[in-house]
Amino acid sequence: MTAGGGSHLVVGSGASAAMVAWTLACRGDQQVTVLDLGGRLDDHRLGVLARITGRDETSWDPSDLEVITARPAARGRTVPRKRVYGSDHPFQDLGQLDGIRGTPPGTNVDLVSSAYGGFTTVWGAQAMPFSPSTFRDWPVSWAEMEPHYRAALEHVPLAAEVDDLADSFPLLHARGGLPPLGPRAAAVLARYEAHRTSLRRRGVTVGRARLAFRATDCTRCGLCMTGCPTGLVYSASQTMDRVRQLPGVRYVGGVLVEEIGQDAGGCVARFREVATGVRHELRADRVFLGAGAVGTTRLVLGSLPQLPRHVTMAESRQFVVPLVSRRAVADPRRPGARDFTLNQFNVLLSFDDGTDVDTAHLHCYPYNPAFDDALPGPLRHPALTGVATGLLRRLTVGFGYLPSWTSPGIRLTIRRGAGALPELEVTPEGTGRRPPMLGAAVRRLARAAPALDLWPVPTHVSLSGAGKSYHFGGTFPHRAPGVPGGTDRWGRLPDWDRVHLVDGSVLPSIASTTFTLTVMANAVRIATEVLDGRATTSSPEAARPVH
């Protein structure tokens, strides 16, 4: 038990680590040390943002905008690596990516973020829970998770509205509605209302996006996807900033944790200063690992007494589908066009008996300048500007996700390397085969198209490479007592009873809805139950990872 005070090491500063650190530090009698790579935006871009913040948009210097809106080059149909404020610093290798390789080409290896705030510095801000039915296969119920979802949402300025999606995904804690929707999103939602009964009978539900940003302050400058100039989109760095103001908290940045363990004296973390290479170790009563699903997996594997040959991760696989409408809206590139460019509406496709477990979920985006970059080469020629404009007036892009149990997994092959952390070879399972649910999802979209005026283009549907969704984990899933192959409900492996895995690495399954909010809520739950003394210090009832 930790009643009466305790000392804790928290590894990371992303969604799960920030929630754990806040939960622990708010008890007042706990000592918390955060160990983090802590990569930041460069000084030049920080200076540009400082000049822009608080000034009217009409006075923004075009050269400043060019700096913070720089986009990566599009490469065929693959989704380019996203930037924030023109920087790819969330993906910068500060040692956390050394020794991670992927096969075949297209496999994502940018799987561990070095940024302060982790991948929430560059995410799409979608914040939905898993449906209550999803937890039927977890050793933790929806009733147990719900208060922790609410606790996590205390940190998140959730913009959302009650609609049909709330039947499957409770709203929980919205702070307000979305900004006015763009004309395409508004038209689709209006057509859905007109055909609601028949669409729902066919397993199609449409609703507004749920976004983690301060929508009431949004000026609709159109720069959401390159980084909100006024910082309205939530990042775990905002919570971590608050954590660092609490008594009993110490933040140690610029370090890479390379080994963790436990002995009779407590827990230990050994880490290296990135700038100098100097190594240190710290001890505490407990360690909470929130380095992201792959970061935590790699750290755990390298710290176990025996290195397994391989492990498998689950992924909610991403696909991209262009959607065109017969009825055009106004030119989105016209002077004075103002819109927010985050996901504006969602399409839920259900394939089960109404329990909303076997679903595909589409986040539908209105125009943003990346659409121009992705146009086929001929359409970017000045002579075909009219054709390109006609297409953009009709185009919506859907980023879809499939549940992990219908998606190919990710195989991690592990080897001892020259560094302290093991080497990882990242390989998709089921290479060359498309998940059957993907075809079913496209067909269901096509059947709903006449009602919604939202027609999928099957020839241009693409399945993203392994790991590209960033919705992955489940290497050491929570298991019920006596069930082998993962961690207990507090994220503990059999080797340690005071080391807790708290990020996506412990999710038993990954639904097709966004998973960041569930990661946050589960991290809050683990930390809360540990503080309440529920995680006893006897050996947890879970088996070692399968080798």
Per-residue pLDDT of 216-274, as tens digits, reads: 999 998 899 889 998 999 999 999 999 999 999 999 999 999 999 999 889 999 999 99
- Round to whole Å and give the CA distance between 307 and 303: 8
Cβ atoms of 187 and 171 closer than 8 Å: no
- Round to whole Å and give the CA distance between 382 and 119: 37
Does residue 3 surpass a pLDDT of 80?
Answer: no
pLDDT at site 482: 85
Sign of the CA dihedral running 273, 499, 524, 243: negative
Whole-model pTM: value is 0.94
Structure tokens at 232: 């309205």
Compute how many other C-beta atoms are within 10 angstroms of the C-beta atom of residue 265: 7
pLDDT at site 300: 96
Per-residue pLDDT tens over the stretch 139-180: 999 999 999 999 999 999 999 999 999 999 999 988 889 999
Q: What is the mean pLDDT of the chain?
A: 92
Cβ atoms of 297 and 410 closer than 8 Å: no
Q: Using alpha carbons, select from 487, 126, 475, 479 the residue that is nearest to residue 293.
A: 475
Residue type, 212: A
- Round to whole Å and give the CA distance between 198 and 203: 9
The CA angle 120-123-129, to the nearest 5 degrees, is: 85
Torsion of CA 27, 28, 34, 40, to 10 degrees: 100
Per-residue pLDDT tens over the stretch 113-124: 999 999 999 999
More confident residue, 333 or 188: 188
- Round to whole Å and give the CA distance between 442 and 176: 33
Give me the mean pLDDT over the 395-408 stretch: 96
- Round to whole Å and give the CA distance between 117 and 212: 14
- The H-or-E segment that residue 303 falls in is helix 293-303
Give me the mean pLDDT over the 409-425 stretch: 92
Q: b/e map of 16-41 (b: 16 or more CB within 10 Å)?
A: bbbbbbbbbbebeebbbbbbbbbbbb
Structure tokens at 197: 């009964």
> What one-character-per-residue DSSP string does 442-489 give?
HHHHHHHHHHHT-EE-GGG-EEPPTTTTS-EE-SS-B--TT--SSB-T
pLDDT at site 305: 86
- Round to whole Å and give the CA distance between 317 and 472: 8
- Round to whole Å and give the CA distance between 520 and 242: 16
Does residue 293 surpass a pLDDT of 90?
Answer: yes
- Round to whole Å and give the CA distance between 494 and 479: 12
**Which pairs from 371-376 meet CB under 8 Å and 24+ separation?**
371/395, 371/397, 372/333, 373/71, 373/73, 373/74, 374/74
Cβ atoms of 134 and 517 closer than 8 Å: no
CATH number of 6-531: 3.50.50.60
Structure tokens at 379: 């359409």
Give me the mean pLDDT over the 503-524 stretch: 97
244 SS3 class:
coil
Structure tokens at 258: 């390379």
Please report where in the chains the tokens 């146009």 appear, as a residue. 375
541 SS3 class:
coil
Roughly what angle, to the nearest 10 degrees, separates helices 436-452 and 183-194?
Answer: 90
> What one-character-per-residue DSSP string does 334-355 give?
STT-----S--EEEEEE-SSSS
- Model confidence at 74, pLDDT cuts 50, 70, 90, reads low
Cis peptide before 332 (omega within 30 of 0): no
- Portion of the chain with pLDDT greater than 70, in percent: 95
Cβ atoms of 11 and 269 closer than 8 Å: yes
- Model confidence at 489, pLDDT cuts 50, 70, 90, reads very high
pLDDT at site 169: 94
Residue type, 410: I
Q: Using alpha carbons, select from 17, 7, 35, 9 the residue that is nearest to residue 272.
A: 35
Roughly what angle, to the nearest 10 degrees, separates helices 15-25 and 516-531?
Answer: 30
Give me the mean pLDDT over the 392-415 stretch: 96
